[in-house]
Amino acid sequence: MTFTQALAAAWQKNDSLLCVGLDPDPAKFPAYLEGRPDAILQFCQAIVDATADLVCCFKPQIAYFAAHSAEDQLKALIAHIHARHPGIPVILDAKRGDIGSTAEQYAKEVFERYGADAVTASPYMGKDSVEPYLAYPDKGVILLCRTSNPGGSDLQFLDVGGKKLYEHVAELVATRWNVSGQCALVVGATFPDEIARVRRIVGELPLLVPGIGAQGGDVEATVQAGRTANGAGLMINSSRAILYAGQDENYAQAARRAASATRELINRYR
């Protein structure tokens, strides 16, 4: 099963467009995990097990592991998701981007070492910087298009001959880079009008949408702008609002309640 097929199956099976982002910050963990060498893994596994039937995918952010020398815990976490929750794809959020020979090494890291099902990547270095990921036929590559941060407009909003740069990227990916159906795009929830523009450009291409929750994106506007004809096509990411919904040892149950509420809110507008 390819990433795209697994995602479509999870949309349906769990009736969910919710992606839970795994950005573990030990400073925000409940006190009882303090000082445990595997605290990051324990924290994330509990979140995963409490929410796996409510999501269409999980998205660990590699920086949060790398800053704590927790590569082994990241690897164990992804293996845990695959073993306990088969069919739920894992996106490694790494925003890679480099020349072909180096991208081959990154692809090895992401797909062979960590066993992720998809990776996020930057389009700035062009098509050949993405091809080494596409050489893994069952994996997905999710290209940055329009990001949800304030500085996102610095480049992405530039006019490149009657359209914005992010629109050009959407077109490029949909028409030239997505030859084998492995691509998707990142489009931030803080700009619903722009999600709609991207949707018109890319047809049914899946969109990963960060920015609801802590970043303030509007769920109704996001879903209405980004859904495909069959009410899917989106991975709507929430990280902090779910991971840190509770502060005490019941954080996993609190995360489940937050994930469930977010999933229902999303489904109301599909």
Q: Report the distance separating Cα 51 and Cα 67, nearest Å.
A: 25
Binding segment for its own copies (CB under 8 A), chosen from 84-92, 105-113, 225-233, 241-249, is: 105-113
Among 60, 97, 140, 206, binds its own copies (CB under 8 A): 97
Which residue lies nearer to its own copies by CB, 48 or 144? 144
Crossing angle for the helix pair 39-51 and 71-84, to the nearest 10 degrees: 20
Among 113, 135, 181, 247, binds its own copies (CB under 8 A): 113
Kindly state whether residue 238 participates in binding its own copies, applying the rule CB under 8 A: no
| Number of residues that make up the chain | 270
Which token pair is 102? 């180096």
Which residue lies nearer to its own copies by CB, 93 or 256? 93
Q: Report the side by side order of strands in the sheet with 234-238.
A: 57-60, 18-22, 234-238, 207-209, 183-187, 140-146, 118-121, 91-96
Kindly state whether residue 162 participates in binding its own copies, applying the rule CB under 8 A: no
CA angle (49 as vertex; 45, 51 as ends), nearest 5: 115
Binding segment for its own copies (CB under 8 A), chosen from 33-41, 154-162, 193-201, 259-267, is: 154-162
Kindly state whether residue 103 participates in binding its own copies, applying the rule CB under 8 A: yes
Among 59, 96, 139, 199, binds its own copies (CB under 8 A): 96
Interface with its own copies: number of residues (CB under 8 A): 51
The number of beta carbons lying within 10 Å of the beta carbon of residue 104 is 15
**Interactions with its own copies, residue window 46-85 (CB under 8 A):** 61, 63-64, 66-67, 69, 71
Binding segment for its own copies (CB under 8 A), chosen from 38-46, 82-90, 144-152, 191-199, is: 144-152
Q: Report the distance separating Cα 146 and Cα 185, nearest Å.
A: 8
Asked if residues 99 and 132 have their Cβ atoms less than 8 Å apart, the reply is no
Among 122, 224, 253, 260, binds its own copies (CB under 8 A): 122
Among 1, 79, 155, 179, binds its own copies (CB under 8 A): 155
Q: Report, in Å, the least distance between residue 222 CB and its own copies.
A: 17
Q: Which residues are catalytic?
A: 95
Asked if residues 135 and 107 have their Cβ atoms less than 8 Å apart, the reply is yes
Among 34, 38, 128, 248, binds its own copies (CB under 8 A): 128
Asked if residues 242 and 265 have their Cβ atoms less than 8 Å apart, the reply is no
143 closest CA partner among 95, 185, 113: 185
Q: Report the distance separating Cα 47 and Cα 261, nearest Å.
A: 15
Residue numbers at the binding site for its own copies (CB under 8 A): 23, 61, 63-64, 66-67, 69, 71, 95-103, 105-106, 108-109, 112-113, 122-130, 144, 147-156, 158-161, 165, 168-169, 172
